[in-house]
Chain A
Amino acid sequence: MMILSGDPPRSRVLSILLVVIILALAATPFLFPGAKAMNVAAQICIFAALVASYDLLLGYTGSVSFAHTMFYGIGSYAIAIALYSMGPVWAAVATGIAVGLPLAALLALAIGLFSLRVAAIFFAMVTLAVASAFQVLASQLSWLTGGEDGRSFQLPELLRPGTVLISKSLIGFELNGRVLTYYLVLIAAATMILCLLRVVNSPFGRVLQAIRENRFRAEALGFRTVFHLTYANCIAALVAAGAGMLNALWLRYAGPDTSLSFTIMLDILLMVVIGGMGTIYGAIIGASIFILAQNYLQALMGAASKAAADAGLPLLPGLLHPDRWLLWLGLLFIASVYFFPTGVVGRLRGAGSAKH
């Protein structure tokens, strides 16, 4: 159990759920052919890592940051700009990583040391201000970032959809560059989540929880909490940037809407809360539920609406009309926050321990 850092899911239902999600993600290219399914699965992987890194901040240290999409964007743009300007070579990917990660970490370090000394609200405000400034900067520096249009680029040869590694006639399934990219995303995201699980269960991570519980007491024990919080902020930023890089590689594009917008920030918050704060596993559950709902709820409602109309039921066809999907998505979230205030993971663990 050392790969899980001694922090297993601690609930049978949760374990099964996680195994199902992971198996489904691993088998997506075989089980669900087609671009849409693989897109959704890649989004789930990327967001699971991104949300887990946000959970390190919100769930484990109790600090609210609004700059998480900024770090996500730094990762995305680093890869995009490097590949755009250097061409589709591996050296460009390496450059993007070598520039993007340190940049994210340094910025997080500066924000942390500057604002985590004092009350938590100050940190929230500073991150909001910095993130807004960064968003403006990204759209203004259009010679570098492509402005509102963003940057599209080509991937190295090996990762292109046209690159066939093993032909369909050989194994009944075509292993191409796109599938390879998908597994790159999956494995990188899984590695990052396991790293985060290690961090939160390390002696350092335990101090983070102590700070969340009672910062004053943690200080009195001799912990210089500003450094703990700042390092946590840096780790979260690194993983967010890493997720951003995967996002750019997957989309072959980086732009304000896909990597920097505050809509993504809200989505992250919702996924953390739905999955369960302070659990890391919640990120996987939250990202899966949210992104599946975002992508398939509309189609599901369309089918339901049609079925209701065919059955001649009053009112229902209108209520379930696909155009109302955002309304239902919203209601779904309100209900989940209301009924599972500790998130899905908190709920499942609570039910598990109550039985003992």
Chain B
Amino acid sequence: MALTLETRDLTIRFGGHVAVNGVSCTFKPGELTAIVGPNGAGKTTYFNLISGQLRPTAGTIFFDGADITQLSAPLRTRAGLGRAFQLTNLFPNLSVEENVRLAVQAANGTHYDMLRPWMVRRDLIARADEILDRVALGNRRQVTATALSHGDQRKLEVALMIALEPKVFMFDEPTAGMSIDEVPVVLNLIAQLKQDASKIILLVEHKMDVVRSLADRIIVLHNGQLVADGKPAEVIASPIVQEAYLGVAPGRSAA
């Protein structure tokens, strides 16, 4: 059976507010799904439910044939769900290399080895360096994460996810706040990851040109509900998206 990720009637309520409301959707390998919607539509909350930072009020999540709804965040990561966060979420006072090395160590399953010094594990360090080169941070290895520019921090955030070698990549606005010349590094990386047809890629993104160039499929969230799902061209053209997301009256073309 091929790898699938499915949410069934996924719902979360915060008091009276329903942030994600009955979202049912199945994601398949080899497919890059863009999740779009206006601010506050519940995109990041939907991500948090999938990667385990939040527990749903109702509904179930299936991954790789198993119900993972009750699994904690670390166990979901181990199962193969990788997550890059929207608000940069790093180990601020550790070096760039150490940030990635920790992710490599986690992926390697080296959790409780306390008998050997860490630098003996050259394989982990080499792998971390390799990933840093891929995200164009190879020359900033020894800098502490806080000292990086915003764009570089975003790249490091992505590097941590790649280091986990997940089956599912969840990008939450990976290029937000990046300068124009930094964006291609991340987009090329996502395009590269897409080459591997065994991976599921989810991408929350606001920039429509990015979505159009990368996505195989677009789903639209609006007020926590799934309002559109389909091929990029169809979804972008649909009246509900034109109105709900792009804020343009039907009939006029979106930029």
Footprint of B on A, CB under 8 Å? 2, 5-7, 198-199, 201-207, 209-210, 213-214, 216-225, 227-228, 231, 235
B118 and A203 contact, CB distance less than 8 A: yes
* A-B contacts, CB under 8 A, total: 104
Q: Are A203 and B105 in contact (CB under 8 A)?
A: yes
Given contacts A213-B93, A220-B89, contact A206 B112 (CB under 8 A): no
Measured in the bound complex, the distance between the Cα atoms of B119 and A214 in whole Å is 22
Separation of A216 and B90 alpha carbons in the complex (Å): 9
**Which single member of B53, B119, B120 contacts A220 (CB below 8 Å)?**
B53
Looking at chain A's contact residues, the main secondary structure is helix
A-side contacts of B93, CB under 8 Å: 213
Q: Which chain B positions have C-beta within 8 A of A209?
A: 91, 94
B106 close to A6 (CB less than 8 A) = no
- From A7, A204, A213, A222, give the contact of B106 (CB < 8 A): A222
> Is B238 positioned at the interface, with any CB of A under 8 Å from its CB?
no
Q: B70: shortest Cβ distance to chain A, in Å?
A: 15
Given A7-B117, A203-B110, A216-B53, 8 extra CB contacts under 8 A: A203-B114, A220-B53, A220-B83, A221-B77, A222-B78, A224-B74, A227-B112, A231-B112
B115 at the binding interface (Cβ < 8 Å): yes
* 14 chain-A/chain-B pairs, Cβ below 8 angstroms: A203-B110, A205-B118, A210-B102, A213-B91, A216-B53, A218-B91, A219-B77, A220-B73, A220-B89, A221-B102, A221-B106, A222-B74, A224-B72, A231-B112
B11 partner residues in chain A, CB cutoff 8 A: none
Q: Does B17 contact A (CB under 8 A)?
A: no
In whole angstroms, what is the CA distance A210 to B92 when docked? 9
The CA-CA distance from A235 to B98 in the complex, in Å, is 24
Residues of B within 8 A of A227 (CB): 111-112
**Nearest CB of chain B from residue A293's CB, rounded to whole Å:** 31
A228 to B110, CA, bound (A): 12
User: How many angstroms between the C-alpha atoms of A209 and B119 in the bound complex?
Assistant: 15
Taking CB as reference atom, which chain A residue is nearest B76? A222
Contact A202 B116 (CB under 8 A): yes
B114: contacting residue among A202, A219, A220, A222, CB under 8 A: A202
Report Cα–Cα, A33/B91, bound state, in Å: 50
Residues of B within 8 A of A210 (CB): 91, 94, 102
Report the separation of the CA atoms of residues A210 and B91 in the bound assembly, to the nearest whole angstrom: 6
Bound complex: CA of A235 vs CA of B73, how far in Å?
26
**Size class of the B contact interface (CB-based, 8 Å):** 35 or more
List, in ascending order, chain A residues with CB within 8 A of B94's CB. Answer: 209-210, 213
Contact A222 B90 (CB under 8 A): no
A347 to B112, CA, bound (A): 31
Minimal beta-carbon separation of A130 from chain B (angstroms): 25
Check if B164 sits within 8 Å of A207, measured CB to CB.
no
The CA of A202 and the CA of B160, in the complex, are separated in Å by 20
Instruction: Knowing A2-B117, A198-B114, A202-B116, say if A223 contacts B90 (CB, 8 Å).
Output: no
* A333, B73: Cα distance in complex, Å: 43
Neighbouring B residues of A199 by C-beta, 8 Å: 114
Closest B residue, CB atoms, query A6: B117
A214 touches B90 (CB 8 A): yes
A220 in contact with B51 (CB, 8 Å): yes
Report the separation of the CA atoms of residues A216 and B116 in the bound assembly, to the nearest whole angstrom: 26
- Are A207 and B102 in contact (CB-based, < 8 A)? yes
B113 at the interface (CB under 8 A from A): yes
Interface mask (B81-115 → A, CB under 8 Å = 1, otherwise 0)? 00101000111111000100111011100111111
B114 contacts A221, CB within 8 Å? no
With a CB–CB cut-off of 8 A, which chain B residues contact A216?
A: 53, 89
B197 in contact (CB, < 8 A): no
If A214-B92, A220-B89 touch, whether A198 touches B73 (CB-CB below 8 Å) is no
List the A side residues contacting B102 at CB < 8 Å.
206-207, 210, 218, 221
Rounded to whole Å, the gap between the CB of A213 and the closest CB of chain B is 4
Interchain CB contact (< 8 A) of B111 among A5, A7, A201, A223: A223
Q: Which residues of chain B are within 8 angstroms of A224 by Cβ–Cβ distance?
A: 72, 74-75, 111
CB distance from A26 to the nearest CB of B (A): 25
Known contacts A209-B94, A214-B91, A203 near B73 by CB under 8 Å: no
Cβ-defined contact, B89 with A222, below 8 A: no
Q: Would you list which residues of chain B between 191 and 233 have a CB under 8 Å from chain A? A: none
The chain A residue with its CB closest to the CB of B51 is A220
Min CB gap B82→A, angstroms = 9
Residues in B whose Cβ lies below 8 Å from that of A221 = 74, 77, 102-103, 106, 160, 164
Q: What is the bound-complex CA distance between A200 and B49, given in angstroms?
A: 34
Task: Tell whether, in the assembled complex, residue B78 and residue A206 are in contact, meaning their CB atoms are under 8 Å apart.
Answer: no
A220 and B118: CB pair below 8 A? Answer: no
A235 partner residues in chain B, CB cutoff 8 A: 114
Within the complex, the shortest CB–CB distance from B63 to chain A, in Å, comes to 14
Closest to A197 in B: B117
